[in-house]
Each structure stands twice: as C-alpha cells, then as structure tokens.
A = this chain, B = another copy of it.
C-alpha cells in the first residue's frame, strides 16, 4: 500500500487571472458528504443557487443556472444555443476571449462578422452602432471583462443599441461577476455567462449562466437542434426548472461550494463588495505606479479584478514570477497571445482582493525588481498604497 500524499499541496496566495483564493467556509461546504442529485434537499439547494445567482447577475431571468463545466463551457452554452448554422453574428474582439468566441461561432457554422479593437483598449460603442447599421445581424457577442488584457468594457450604450436593432446580446462576465457591477437586466443583456473561480471565489468547475425570456424564445424557435446535447439549454432548464427531468448528474459538491460562496456575497452585499474591489485595485495601482511600473490599460477602463502591468525591459518575466511563487507563495499571471512576455496579470478577485495581499505583493515586487536591476525607490510602492488606504479610512470616518 502506498502512503497517502493527499496533503502535499503548497499554500498559495492566488493573485493571477483565476482561480482566486477560496474561503474556508466554501471549502468546508464542499467537503460535506454527498446527497443524491434528485434528493429533496439537493432540489432545495438548486432553488437557492438559482435565487442567489439572480441576485449576483442583477436579473429576474427565470433561466439562471450554473452549467456543469467551467467558464468556457458557459461561453459555448450561450453561443451554441443562440446561433444556428448560417446565422449572422457580430463578435467584438479586443483580446483572447473575444477570439475564442469567434472560434466557437465558426464551429457552430454561424456567419462570423468581427469588430476588432486593439488588445488593451475597449470596443467603441459608436463602432458597434455603425456595424449594426451596416448589416443584418442576429446576435452580438462581447466581453465585459477581458481576462487577457484587464479591460473593462462599458456595456450600457451597446445594450441599448443592440436592443434597438432587435438583436440578441451575449456578454462574457467571467472576470467581472461578483467584483464589478453586471447589470444583466439594466443593460438589456440576453445571455450572460461567468465562471466560479474568479470574483465569486469558488473552485473552478461551474459556469453561472443567465438567459432572458427573449433568449429562451429564440432557443425554443430554433430550426435545428442545439449541436451540443450536454449544453442544450432547453434540456438543462427542464432539469433545473420545475420539471426536474433527468439530464445529467449535477456536480453535487461543486454546487454546495457555489451556494456557500454566493451566501458570502449576499452577506457582504454587492455594493460593499464592488467598493472593496475598487479600493484594493486603486491602492495596487498607486503602488505599482509609484514603483515606476506602467499599466497596459488607460485609466477609466481598468478592471478592479485584474490589472495588467507592462513588464519593464530589463526584467525577466519568468524570473520574477518564479520568485514570487517559490519565495513568497504568490501567484500572478503572465501575458497571453500577443501580450506573452509583455505583461503581468495581477488578479484581485473575491477573497483574494484584500489589503494584505496588495501590500505583500508590492513588498515582494519592491525587493525582486530592485534585485533585477530596476531603479525602484525602496518602500515607494507600499507607501503609495498605504496612502490610498489611509485617505479612504479618513473619508470613511468623516462620513
């Protein structure tokens, strides 16, 4: 018999593009013994999860469920249900996840139109309007929070434009849901998907998805069956809805975890949670800039949950990330695609968005970057971040 090595996992401060750190309450919930997926207690749990997801998505959509796969499965769910072969689709692309949507639209047999913007910039709402005025489109797909670049995409105006044109709007909120306002109903989003392992601070494995009544009507009126059986929203909602018709076996433990993570969000309150994400990112940015680092994204369009920092020329990407991981136990992310080797991606998502994490990372970077030969004033980063927290504290106690 081999010795069990179940506890050989290192402790990590997760400040990359996800997963984020998970609350002990969520880990404990996930480790509860299982019940069956048709057990009355699990059916009640499913109802709670749907309600709590509606709260986080800020929607009244009846069809609001966790798909039994990761965020990418959520992306595929939205696209395969709403796009049929030959349907014209406009995908806005300013990063890797917009590209991925194009890939899926092509596999579905949709007629792909692309609206490209530079990686690190937003997609201009005026350009979206222009593109829609030019030609007939059935579905518009866009990323709210581009995990590859750290860009926050304004959606309110685009939502209005798409609705005026009578089209459907699909939104990727993988890196924003639970950290940034996502106004599913307010912005007239027809299908929105996310992942559990970002600002919801739950282990990866489920993808919360919400479909508007218009979206579900489109699913019901399809000319052809959804190409994926596993992700067929009609079948999925028969299982998650009142019929309880067996489809697949829902991941029991992952749903325990999700319920607990969503309860934590409800207890904190969305507004307070957004404010926490904003404050910690403001402090991080002040610290990074005080150290002489530059950000990829212009002010006003930066995600609170993910900050992209340009890697200084004299500095080794691999060495810095390697030392952060092995010496400090801190994970940050590297760049993807054209940004590979050019940026770091620093996540402050959910449980990972704390003052301690911001300060620790700045402290570690201060030491490592100076050893890499960068001209950093000792302590400048943590001082600048500390000032942000102090100003915030003063404002709070004045209020």
Contacts and interface: CB of A to CB of B under 8 A. Distances in A.
A308 to B, nearest CB: 16
Interface in A1-19: 1-2, 4-12, 14, 16, 18-19
Contacts of A336: 246
B263 A2 contact: yes
Contacts of A41: 8-10
A146 interface: no
A72 interface: yes
A331 B36 contact: yes
A98 interface: no
A48 to B, nearest CB: 9
A71 B12 contact: no
B31 A14 contact: no
A contact face: mostly helix, strand, loop, or mixed: loop
B69 A260 contact: no
B34 A7 contact: no
Given A27-B31, A249-B197, A203 B9 contact: no
A57 B202 CA distance: 31
A7 to B, nearest CB: 7
Contacts of A45: 9
Contact of A251 (B8, B231, B249, B254): B254
Nearest to A16: B36
How many subunits of this chain does the assembly comprise?
2
A262 to B, nearest CB: 11
Contacts of A257: 253
Contacts of A165: none
A106 interface: yes
Contacts of A80: 228
B253 A203 contact: yes
A363 interface: no
A253 B251 CA distance: 12
B69 A228 contact: no
B107 A225 contact: yes
A53 interface: no
A36 B7 contact: no
A204 interface: yes
A76 interface: yes
A28 interface: yes
Contacts of A39: 10, 12, 325, 331
Contact of A229 (B5, B32, B70, B104): B104
A22 interface: yes
A69 B73 CA distance: 9
Contacts of A1: 267
A348 to B, nearest CB: 15
B33 A72 contact: no
Top 6 A-B residue pairs of the complex, sorted by shortest distance between their CB atoms: A205-B251, A31-B31, A203-B253, A72-B248, A27-B31, A6-B29
